[in-house]
Amino acid sequence: MRASLALSYQALSGTQRRALRRLGALEVGDFSAWLAGPLLGVGHERAEELVEGLAEAQLLELAAVDPTGASRYRFHDLVRLYARERSAAEDSLEERRSAVAGVTAGWLALAEQADVRLPVTPFVVSFGGAPRWLLPRALVERLLADPLAWFELERANLLAAVETAVAAGLEEPAWELVGCVTSFLLLRSYLASLDAVQERALAACQQAGNRRGEAAILCARGGHLTEAGHSTISLTRGQAMLTRALAIFQELDDDRGQAKALHALSALERRVGQHLRPAALGLALDHAQQALELARAIGDLGGEADALIALGRAHQELGRYQEAAAALQEARGLVEQLGARRDLAIVILHLGVQARDTGRPTEATDLLNESMAIARELGDWRGLAQLLLELAKVHIDQGRLEEAEALLAAATDLWPPQVQGRGFRAMALDELGRLRVHQGRCDQAISHLTEAARLWQQLGATASQARTLTVLGALRPDDLGAAT
């Protein structure tokens, strides 16, 4: 096979050989022809000619046609091995590193533009100085006509690009690329992938002394830990990351980074206030207000919307419903203006929760159903599971127990026990226990509430555990000691 491939290789032009070597060296699955442009430093038309020429020489295979009608290519494993052999023999280390830098610049440019087209406020914490390889506008519009579909199609390649950049010592584009893929990975719940690339980029930035990159990844990691769990350990780790990120951004005079870190700290302190120490809610309010002032000062509408949501939720937890409604309604107007559908779903969810908590069940039901429709539209199954849980609470309060039981079952089906975090499982068991109380099925209620209290204890969520134990103790006081 090597001899046969050598004959085909020798028949290529010098530029075609370089294209084969450099494409083969990449950690990609199937790919579009544009990739050869930044990889080789040539224009898009020339890149297409080179890739099509390699396909005609049977050194690339036609893998598929993407949703836009363009061809995607892949290597046969043996051809890839041969291309890597030739690259090791003919390309210098600096040439290989330059190729990685070029192709990473291409991925970064496209991912950055795809990110701002997603139905969320941008998650990018800060901006760095990594170069971008700008593709023709018409090509970008075609590729990113459906940004979610593009991210899904290129997900494995984007993750591999981060790893390749880190391995080549290119931590600056690596951390920026991680920032650009974060919103998508969160939206589609690719949490293990997000953890992996964040950790790789963080380690690279710390090793290189890249403080802005370190702060950006710490901020994103801290925010992710806040959303992922209720445990004392995860919240303590998240707080340490966010506090360090904020300090670095302050030293760098990075207002956007400071606003993002303050917003993330507010979300963490709100979680701490809910499950551990209610006094933390005051800090959540203060940090949300500071994030709002910074976002407004720099004209960051997405950051302003995020801060208003955080402010509204902090007021909500403190029982200041008028202030909460004002902040959430202002946030709603901004996210509608920005077209951030997922953020709109979040705002409507919290308006629905407030309607429920203030004795307006019909309005609460309408709002939660509106939010669920958006979550379904976006394929946000974690958000949908949370909404089903909140709607079940409304039905329990109204005595509509059969509907509540169906909603709780649907939430568990969407987020089954084998993939649930302990926090979600504790919340679901808690609501199921309360449902059984209303149904008069006390033995089952005690079982569910005892398990919820045990999970809250494991998580260190003392405030949540206390609320569950209060319900359990009212059912059977003698069981309270056993549950603790």
Q: Centre a 10 Å sphere on the Cβ of residue 362 and count the other Cβ atoms it contains.
A: 10
The residue from 91, 120, 155 where one domain ends is 91
The answer to whether 187 and 378 have CB atoms below 8 angstroms apart is yes
pLDDT score for 240: 94
3-state secondary structure of 71: strand
- What is the CATH classification number for the domain harbouring 68? 1.10.10.10
Residues 219 and 295 in one domain: yes
pLDDT score for 483: 41
Residues 285 and 351 in one domain: no
Report yes or no on 380 lying in a domain: yes
- The tens digit of pLDDT for each residue in 95-113 reads 999 999 999 999 999 999 9
Residues 447 and 376 in one domain: no
Arithmetic mean of pLDDT, 191-214? 95
CA distance 84 to 20: 9
Residues 319 and 214 in one domain: yes
pLDDT score for 480: 43
pLDDT averaged over every residue in the chain: 90
Report yes or no on 199 lying in a domain: no
Distance of CA 331 to the CA centre of its chain: 20
Residues 218 and 312 in one domain: yes
Interstrand relation of 31-32 and 71-74 (parallel, antiparallel or unpaired): antiparallel
Q: In what order do the strands lie in the sheet with 71-74?
A: 31-32, 71-74, 61-65
Report yes or no on 456 lying in a domain: yes
The CA–CA distances, whole Å, from 406 to 83, 374, 409, 427, 449 equal 56, 20, 5, 16, 19
The CA–CA distances, whole Å, from 35 to 19, 46, 57, 72, 74 equal 10, 11, 19, 10, 12
pLDDT band at 477 (very low <50, low <70, confident <90, very high): low
Query: Is the model's pLDDT at 226 over the cut of 70?
Result: yes
First-to-final CA distance of the chain: 68
Report yes or no on 154 lying in a domain: no
Residues 388 and 446 in one domain: no
Report yes or no on 151 lying in a domain: no
Report yes or no on 291 lying in a domain: yes
Report yes or no on 80 lying in a domain: yes
3-state secondary structure of 131: coil
Residues 351 and 288 in one domain: no
CA-closest candidate to residue 301, choices 335, 344, 254: 335
**Residue 339 backbone zone (phi > 0: left; psi -120 to 50: alpha; other: beta):** left
The residue from 396, 415, 434 where one domain ends is 415
Residues 232 and 326 in one domain: yes
Report yes or no on 378 lying in a domain: yes
Query: Which residues make Cβ contacts (< 8 Å) with residue 243, sequence separation at least 6?
Result: 265
- What is the CATH classification number for the domain harbouring 356? 1.25.40.10
Arithmetic mean of pLDDT, 383-392? 91
pLDDT score for 141: 95
Residues 350 and 314 in one domain: no
Residues 9 and 61 in one domain: yes
Tokens of 247: 């300090």
- The tens digit of pLDDT for each residue in 145-191 reads 999 999 999 999 999 999 999 999 999 999 999 999 999 998 888 88
pLDDT score for 229: 58
Range of the domain at 429: 421-484
pLDDT score for 418: 46
Residues 287 and 365 in one domain: no
Residues 359 and 393 in one domain: yes
Query: Which residues make Cβ contacts (< 8 Å) with residue 72, sequence separation at least 6?
Result: 30, 31, 32, 62, 63, 64, 65, 66
Residue showing tokens 């419903």: 321
Length of the chain: 484
Tokens of 98: 């330059």
The residue from 60, 91, 122 where one domain ends is 91
Number of domains forming the structure of the chain: 4
Q: What percentage of the chain carries pLDDT values higher than 90? A: 69
pLDDT score for 479: 45
* pTM given for the model: 0.85
- The tens digit of pLDDT for each residue in 321-347 reads 999 999 999 999 999 999 999 999 999
Query: Is the model's pLDDT at 25 over the cut of 70?
Result: yes
